[in-house]
Amino acid sequence: MSLASAVMPVYRWATRPVGTVRAVTTRQPHVVLTFDDGPDPVETPKVLDALERFGATATFFVLMTRVRRYPELTRAILDAGHEIGLHGLDHTRLTKLTPQEAGGRTAEGKARLEQFVQREVRWFRAPYGAMLPRHWLAVKRTGLTPVGWGPTPADWRELPEDQLAADGMRGCGRGSIMLVHDAMADERDGVPDDPPPPHIDRGKLADLLLAGIAERGWTSRSLGEALTGGRARKWGWFYR
């Protein structure tokens, strides 16, 4: 066992009271859908249409590389009543950076996004979800709260949308935070070595997930909305 593997459980235990938001404890029939890596000119409008059909809201973790390219889509997300969080200046893995660099880039992204949306940005999801304790602390010092996830359709895989949706619903419960994508970061977002994105209709996937959520008597709400009737469940989440 490596030293990192040995100490990770200690870090998770030590930061449990003040760590990463992973779910919401609530009596309300709410699931939190979160969408990463956007906006995207093809897929984001389809996702927004699906959310509207189900009377649902969601939290979109945006990349500033995308916000600059598609400012009208970012405004469309807000105009539709959804919440925006920061995913980063680009999709660079924070653990490739020093904590000082990670904190500085995150603070810059927060400032730029808040200037654009003209409102406070509360939430941050690290690219790939990758943070070590020192990077997590650097993010916390910016005033942002790191947000992880529970269930996910793992929609970076080349699979039919109905199979992805079934995988996403597995383990989903009241207050779950689900990770989905309305885009996939590419070389323009600082990830030249990632594999090509799968051919997925992300609007169809959102429809299937929202239908599955509705069948269980729940609805999707943004993280901020879900927390108005609940409390954040936090614990440490650190990996490379």
Would you please indicate which residues are annotated as catalytic (active-site) residues? 36, 181
Neighbours of 142 (CB within 10 A): 20
Distances (CA, A) of 30 to 179, 187, 206: 15, 35, 16
SS3 label, residue 120:
coil
SS3 label, residue 194:
coil
SS3 label, residue 134:
helix
* Cβ(87)–Cβ(127) below 8 Å: yes
* Cβ(37)–Cβ(91) below 8 Å: yes
Cis ω before 39 (30° cut-off from 0): yes
Cα–Cα dist 91/64, whole Å: 9
- Residue 189 per-residue DSSP state: G
SS3 label, residue 235:
strand
- The amino acid at residue 188 is R
Cα–Cα dist 154/133, whole Å: 25
Cα–Cα dist 161/26, whole Å: 29
